[in-house]
Amino acid sequence: MTEAMEEAKPDRLLGRTIAGKYRIEAKIGQGGMGSVYRARHLVTGKVVAVKVLLEDLAAYPSFVERFLHEARAAAYVMHPHAINIMDCGREGDVVYLLMEYLDGETLTEVMKREGPFSPQRAARILTQICSAVAEAHAQGIIHRDLKPDNIILQHVAGERDYVKVLDFGIAKVLDEQKRGGLPISRRVFVGTPEYASPEQCNAKSPTVASDIYSLGVILYEMLTGRPPFEGDPMDVMLKHVHEEPPPLRALRPEVSPEIEAVVLRALRKDPAARPQSAWELAEEFERAVRASAGRRTASLASRPTQMDPPSTLPTRPQERARPTSRLARRRWGMALVGALVLAGASGLGYRTYWWLTSGPPLPTPPAITPKPAPRWVLDPVSEAKRLFEEGDREGAATLLREALALGAFGNARAHDLLGLIYLDQGETAWAKNEILLALEHAGGKLPEAHLHLGRILWEEGDAVGAERAFQTALEQSHGRLIAAAAALGELYLRQGRHQEAERVMREALQRAGEDPNDLVEVGRMLLLQGQYELAVRELRRAIRLKNGIFPPAYLLLGRALLESGETATAAEVLSTALAQRRGKDPVARHLLGRARYRLRDYERALAELREAIHLRGGNYPEARYDLALVLSDPAVGRYEEAEEHLRAALALRRDQFPEALEALAQLYALRLGRLEDARRIWQRMPTRPALSWLERTRDALGLHAPSEWRERVLRPQVPAQLTFELALAPSPTERQLTVLFRGGDVALGLRLERERELSPWSVRPVRLIAGREEGLERLEDSLDLTSPLTLTLVSDRTDLALAFNGREIVRVKRSSATSDAPLLWGLRGGRALLFHIRE
């Protein structure tokens, strides 16, 4: 009777407005410390979740502090797979926590309904969990209660198993500042017995290894349908301490020995014997799953995929398969249409090419009307390729999976093309699985599959394996696969092997024919070498041969025009590429966003970059990096959001993203005034600048000057091609050149009373090799401040030259320039400019 009365009692919070803008609509959950409600923003209509501390507990300050500790801890875990905490506070007797609203099921509920998972599905889920936990560990936070109930699986964009890790409220915070002084008892058991580590069960202080053990228990349960130990809580805790878990293969014999070994290693009693990081566990399990998949019998080949892919093409915002090598540096450009990084190219100056008037006009592409993928065609692989090239990834993937299910059409080609589609979408694990199946069906004799495998290996950081795959593709095609030559040439360029790169690309250019696909690869190689005018010419030819319908060529053409300074025209070309890909090409969106930013169209730049990230399911670190550059522009001024995206980009790359690290350091130094944070980042970089300049940065930045002057600090970006010009207009009343510091490596300061509006740069920052002191003396002797000042820095493969008003002042050899101290221009009134140029 009492319970019925309680249930009938109206909830006092329903209809109440929290934080002045969120109206509570419904109660959606109940926990040990509080209730969870669904609320809606009064203006935008955005739905959020509100966790409210139980009324009885809110009367105790210790419980309130424990409750708010959840917000402080979770706020440090900014990751796509960790729940986002938006706000917290107290209004009268209501203590609340605002967080993102998750529409999904717990891992417990899904396992109870569906039973044990396939190893491939378990790997996808584990990788996402580990990515969030690794970010927490990097912030000094140990979860302590990882379990299936604290893991939500969502359906996003029609795809299942997008992970969110919940409940950092009982996390152990190793950093006292993050903890906010909250005492955490060392002798109180915190956690859930079935998923607790032996050291937790012994009331010892938890460590990173404790979370690894819990992840091992979760993995064991995903594969078997049950945790290793069940029963009375005290008995379960004793078993964790004293007993070995039942052999996994005794419960599920089809699981491979390699998979079982990884799980049992995570469940070792000795913390030192377990994987030493969440990423290490995820990588070991992925390798074991791939090794098991590599021995599949031919009888499984008729299935549409061996990685248990979703029913639609993956586009969810999740961490894709992580690189398996710790040496991974950056992602390879997307298949067919990759946005190239012009590392190692020479002569990369801004130039103008009037490509529209240098030859016959491009044909006007006809309108493309989306149509369903045909189900019965004579050659489904060729039809799927056509759909893919027209931007219909979904239709192409569906047609290929149906063809493979019938088992009667060119399995090798179908697997390879399906792998290429997954690779284009950033689904590296599924792509690799399909391509390995293609090679298995072809007996290892399929040049295109070796090319695609090489791209994946390169993305994973295995440069040796990638080089071998590219060479195999060239050998099997007798040198006719021009795309393999382009890929091998770019690999050599990035490794600084310029002569080998030139040889490979020269031979490929000589063999290339008039096929449009060959012309695209020719354009790619010319672009790599900085030959923009020639690249534009060949790409225009490819487009004409395809009657104006050729998205890969339009993408590369847009990239070439961007690099050559034809930004407005590049935006038009990239818009055409996007239209031909039906608006669903993340690379086109990314490059278009970059072009919009250079055109100072900030809102459209932000929109394009956000959509690019969305189309790649959140796993697009390069686009996040460019988005951060726009957000950190003083014209936009959203510095905290820029920091969030830079941190996300670094998390996606596991901190192997030097440009993002550099940008984050400069954001801290020049925008947020967090000089010590900037110093720490530069100290950990492989080649870091001299740090003595930070001692005077506070004065140079004029931190005591009015804020409106500080907001006009010139952004640090300089063009990636290592050639730029900066025009300053000196004051007629003050023309004094001030040297901020002297030494073997110098930084310069130029004080001006006022300056004209400076045009913004919009590309990534790189480091500057500063001139020697004798160069500074020559600069002081020759500098003419009676007219506008132009600083020009020109770099080629051998030299770095610094000139003022066209007169060369300093020239140093790259090989002899051992210092990479920054060049700091301090402008009176709090304005400062920090350049970094790195080879």
pLDDT at residue number 467:
92
Tell me which range, 74-88, 237-251, 364-378, is most confidently predicted by mean pLDDT. 237-251
Residues 6+ apart with CB under 8 A from 745: 690, 770, 772, 819, 821
Secondary structure string (H, E, C) spanning 343-367:
CCCCCCCCCCCCCCCCCCCCCCCCC
Using CA atoms, how far apart are residues 726 and 165, in angstroms rounded to an integer?
47
Neighbours of 308 (CB within 10 A): 18
Q: Where in the sequence numbering do the catalytic residues fall?
A: 145
Backbone phi, psi, residue 591, to 5°: -65, -35
What ranges do the domains of the chain cover? 2-100, 105-295, 689-835
CA count, 13 A, side-chain hemisphere, 38: 10
> Residue 479 — very low, low, confident or very high, per pLDDT cuts 50/70/90?
confident
- Rounded Cα distance, 827 and 738, in Å: 10
**Long-range Cβ pairs for the range 603-607 (8 Å, 24+):** 605/630, 606/630, 606/631, 606/636
Is residue 649 pLDDT above 60, yes or no? yes
What value does the mean pLDDT of the chain take? 69
Q: Given the structure tokens 């079935």, which residue do they identify? A: 194
Q: Helix 586-598 and helix 621-631: axis angle, to 10°? A: 20
pLDDT value, residue 391: 67
CATH class of 2-100: alpha beta
pLDDT of 107 higher than 90: yes
- Mean pLDDT for the stretch of residues 478-490: 86
Q: How far apart are CA 476 and CA 808, in angstroms?
A: 51
* Percent of the chain at pLDDT exceeding 90: 23
Nearest partner of 832 among 687, 731, 712, judged by Cα:
712
Q: Is the pLDDT score of 339 beyond 50?
A: no
Q: 335, 388 in Cβ contact below 8 A?
A: no
| pLDDT tens digits for range 400-426 | 887 777 654 457 888 888 888 888 776
Residues 123, 328: Cα–Cα separation, whole Å: 20
Question: What residues contact residue 601 under an 8 Å CB cut-off, 6+ apart?
Answer: none
The CA-based dihedral angle spanning residues 229, 235, 240, 245, taken in that order and rounded to the nearest 10 degrees: -30
Which tens digit of pLDDT belongs to each residue from 116-130? 999 989 998 998 899
How does DSSP assign 594-648, residue by residue?
A: HHHHHTT-HHHHHHHHHHHHHHTTT--HHHHHHHHHHHTSTTT--HHHHHHHHHH
Position 71 scores a pLDDT of: 67
Q: Which CATH class is domain 105-295?
A: mainly alpha
Question: In the predicted model, is pLDDT for residue 229 greater than 70?
Answer: yes
The model's pTM is 0.44
145 three-state secondary structure: coil
pLDDT > 70: what percent of the chain? 64
Q: Is the pLDDT of residue 703 over 70?
A: no
Instruction: Return the closest-CA partner of residue 663 out of 624, 616, 700.
Output: 624
Report which listed range, 233-242, 323-332, 526-535, is most confident. 233-242
Task: Report pLDDT for 74.
Answer: 66
- How does pLDDT run across 727-784, given as a tens digit for each residue? 333 333 222 222 222 222 222 333 222 232 332 222 222 222 233 333 333 333 333 4
- The answer to whether 505 touches 489, Cβ cutoff 8 Å, is yes
